[in-house]
Homo-oligomer: A and B are copies of this chain.
């Protein structure tokens, strides 16, 4: 059995077989990070911190006491997850560059399993944007084409995985920040449903929308990581009723998919063709369902996001306004102007949105959309045109993804073939609340058939 050393499960297998050690895998990752320095995927990466972890993991394996199958695999972490060794800055100049001395729950879970925290990945400042163009350390670049953006805000994590520096990385998602760069960089990204995964120690953007999740090169890698995200954490009250991750059950018939369309859900012809081709090649039959009021739902998502972000940042904005980039500062000031009644109206629109998806649509196993309406934009393009729309590149990135955060449903982006330009295209699937496992199984069902094709 040959191990694909670019994937997490490949590395796990190599460690189990003894063909690699934590030390060799870590050296490989560090060397690749140097080779791929142009991507600007990392904000913090310190060989001595990595090699100390690797040495300890190697010793555990030598003594026959690995902490878990993951013991010794390097993983990259988005810079809004607290880490006890690396500083956490959210790629903003507003926070002092100092280590906080504790791990986010998900990081702690992985560390307890022996995973090596390789470094902190570049992200859109405070996760408050979806291009990864605004960051204290500059923009990330797309491994498929350095002149293109990765999308964000977990752009560094996506670039690190897509370029083979690490087999997997951690991201967070408030309006697509895991799925957007996963789609733009051609990897898999999973956003758990709200209340399933602990956000403790992940610097918030908008706490009723945020979710942390894994990004990786295969669905098997995603499945291997989800147990470290999902389940009750006494430090995050939103997970009070979260069940632990259970084994996904493969559907024994094709999942019923609704392909959402309508005004506000336009997509470029290339992306549309790629999605339809992937659906035809996998589930075959699927239904187009038009949803209405997309603009009003989007405005609700935006009001919740702005208001919660301004609430979280109120103290820091007052103390250190110039630490924020002008764009982020403008967002925060706009959020301060939203009234409580407007915020609550947005939350009530959110509630009617969820009711619409669950009760008013024809029955479904997963909702499907492209992850992005376009392929990864050029760094220099501030506008995108598709399906009769002309929108900012920022808005084109969250174009579909925010629906999953407003609903709070589990979502995944999986890469599909793009006959037109060859640049990555993602299929986004949304599952039902509490059914993260079923969503993963549906994604596997589809993915298996798409991989067979090639």
Contacts and interface: CB of A to CB of B under 8 A. Distances in A.
A359 to B, nearest CB: 10
Interface stretch (A110-118, A221-229, A308-316): A308-316
A341 B335 CA distance: 8
B335 A340 contact: yes
A344 interface: yes
A339 interface: yes
A151 to B, nearest CB: 28
B341 A314 contact: yes
Nearest to A337: B339
A351 B241 contact: no
A338 interface: yes
A341 B311 contact: yes
A348 interface: yes
Interface in A260-318: 303, 307-308, 310-311, 314
Interface residues of A, number: 23
A336 interface: yes
Contacts of A311: 340-341, 344-345, 348
A249 interface: no
Contact of A339 (B241, B308, B340, B351): B340
A449 interface: no
A237 interface: yes
Contacts of A314: 341, 345
A395 interface: no
A342 interface: yes
A343 interface: yes
Contacts of A310: 340-341
A307 B344 contact: yes
Task: Report copies per complex.
Answer: 2
Contacts of A240: 241
A146 to B, nearest CB: 40
Nearest to A304: B340
A181 B336 CA distance: 39
A192 to B, nearest CB: 17
B343 A336 contact: no
A335 B308 CA distance: 19
A337 B337 CA distance: 11
A200 to B, nearest CB: 13
A308 B344 contact: yes
Nearest to A336: B341
Interface in A313-361: 314, 335-345, 348, 351, 354
A449 to B, nearest CB: 34
B345 A343 contact: no
A210 to B, nearest CB: 14
Interface in A97-146: none
Contact of A340 (B237, B241, B338, B351): B338
Contacts of A338: 339-341
B343 A344 contact: yes
Interface of A: 237, 240-241, 303, 307-308, 310-311, 314, 335-345, 348, 351, 354
29 contacts: A237-B351, A237-B354, A240-B241, A303-B340, A307-B340, A307-B344, A308-B344, A310-B340, A310-B341, A311-B340, A311-B341, A311-B344, A311-B345, A311-B348, A314-B341, A314-B345, A335-B340, A335-B341, A336-B341, A337-B339, A338-B339, A338-B340, A338-B341, A339-B339, A340-B340, A340-B342, A340-B343, A343-B343, A343-B344
Given A311-B341, A336-B341, A337-B339, 15 more contacts: A237-B351, A240-B241, A241-B241, A303-B340, A310-B340, A310-B341, A311-B345, A311-B348, A314-B341, A335-B341, A338-B339, A338-B340, A339-B339, A340-B340, A343-B344
Query: 8 closest Cβ contacts across the A-B interface?
Result: A340-B343, A311-B344, A307-B340, A338-B340, A241-B241, A311-B341, A340-B340, A310-B341
